[in-house]
Amino acid sequence: MEQAGGVPRADDLPAEFVYPAYVAMDRILARILCGVLGGRFAVPYGERVATEMSVRRHASLLGLIAVGGAIGSLARHVVSIIVGAHDAQDLPWGTLGVNVAGCLAIGVLATVLPIATQRWWLRPLVITGVLGGFTTFSALSLETGVLLDAGATGMAALYVGGTVVAGLLAVHLGRVLARRSQ
């Protein structure tokens, strides 16, 4: 069954995504969410959830997003290993690279992954989970602080400004490329 506009209802999450490992988490989250929020909270794309079963299905989606976040975080760690350590006054190329690459990917995927499809869970998995774990504002902030502590004020400004500008350009480029391929 689908809600108006082609968006599946939370109860219709495919059974293959209710993994046995999530069952205990589903029950705990369902009780917490139903108890604390009175059984109603917003799920992806504005659908209202009012039943414990819907909350369990949404908890499975949250688990899927968490798995995506773990994949993205591991990928970011691999990039930092490949790029290697940097001195306190050097530009943190690894973090800059993952943030710009993540912006490019979000630009492409936000354009090509429609919201209302049979696989409506794919967008939160990839964009929120994988790319959310891959890109990192906290590392940008920490590394900027390290540059400032080392007296590299100019490099810190270049890093922050360059990351923001490169990120915005990468999102725009990703969207343009995705639109051209459609």
List strand residue ranges (DSSP E) for the chain, in order: 41-42, 48-49
- d(CA 150, CA 92) in angstroms, rounded, equals 13
- d(CA 166, CA 154) in angstroms, rounded, equals 17
Average pLDDT, rounded, for the chain: 75
Q: Assign residue 165 a region: left if phi > 0, alpha if psi is -120 to 50, beta otherwise? A: alpha
pTM above 0.75, yes or no: no
User: Helix 153-180 crosses helix 93-112 at what angle (to 10 degrees)?
Assistant: 20
Longest dimension (CA), the chain: 60
The residues pairing with 49 across neighbouring beta strands, listed in sequence order, are 41
Domain residue limits, the chain: 10-180
Confidence category of residue 169, pLDDT binned at 50, 70, 90: very high
Dump pLDDT digits (tens) for 87-115.
Answer: 777 888 888 889 999 989 988 988 888 66
Dump pLDDT digits (tens) for 40-89.
Answer: 444 444 444 444 546 666 778 888 899 999 999 999 999 988 987 677 77
Q: What secondary structure does DSSP assign to 43-83, as a single string?
A: -GGG-EE-SHHHHHHHHHHHHHHHHHHHHHHHHHHHHHHHH
Q: Please say whether the beta carbons of 71 and 133 come within 8 A.
A: yes
